[in-house]
Amino acid sequence: MVSTSPMGRFLLDHLRRMLLASAGLALFAVGTYLQLKAAIGYAPWQALHEGLARHLSMSYGNASILVSIAVVAADLLLREPIGIGTIMDSLLVGWLTDLCLWLDPIPDQRGWAAPALLLVAGLFVMAFGQYVYMTAALSCGPRDALSVALARRFPKLSIGTVTAATLALVLLAGWLLGGSIGFGTLIHLVATGPIIDLVFRLLRFDPRSVQHEGLVQTFRAFSRAHAAA
């Protein structure tokens, strides 16, 4: 049977992992949509995407994809390995966020309490999506890979410090481009890390234990499966 052959096992395993990663990225896009609908201030990357979308007259999702491609290029220049998951992240989140915005099932919120709750709900959905996506072990998203690559270049700084500095620069760029900065931005900066930690702790998931597969490893596994066929 095809499924018991080396190539069949390779294809089924990677199809399963890609579907798992796609489900996680879809959840991440839904979480992004919830935060955008809150409309009380975006996260640094979201503000950058919105600012670019306004200046380049494109959709939010396409701006997200454009930024992702630029970040992947930076990852490659910094010699940070990327994988199938990195490419999927670069494309799917933008497209799926645009789909959510087009369907737009949630009405606009008034006041500040309901939008704040919607934003926090989005953070939880994104954290769960990140968990699902990372368990596929097909490599990190381009922005996470960039933080790791920069941390390698500045070994005296913690990855948290490097990430914070990167987000500060991204936030500045988003603000200069007219991205929406507000109370929600503060919620993002203060709550994102604790919410991710809480979700991962509840799921008993340690992202450091995941051995991600890069494109080189995927190609080698494909070559071994093909040779054994």
**pTM for this model (two decimals):** 0.86
Q: Burial level of 38, CB count in 10 A (0-12/13-18/19+)? A: buried
Question: What are 43-85's pLDDT values in tens digits?
Answer: 899 999 999 999 999 999 999 999 999 999 998 898 888 899 9
Among 74, 118, 71, 117, smallest CA distance to 94 is for 71
What range does the domain containing 207 cover? Answer: 2-228
Q: What 3-state DSSP class applies to 185?
A: helix
Among 179, 176, 153, 150, smallest CA distance to 163 is for 150
Q: What 3-state DSSP class applies to 109?
A: coil
Distance CA 47, CA 175 (A): 7
Q: In the chain, how many domains are there?
A: 1
Distance CA 112, CA 102 (A): 24
Question: What are 101-144's pLDDT values in tens digits?
Answer: 999 999 988 888 899 999 999 999 999 998 999 899 898 888 87
Better-predicted residue by pLDDT, 1 or 11: 11
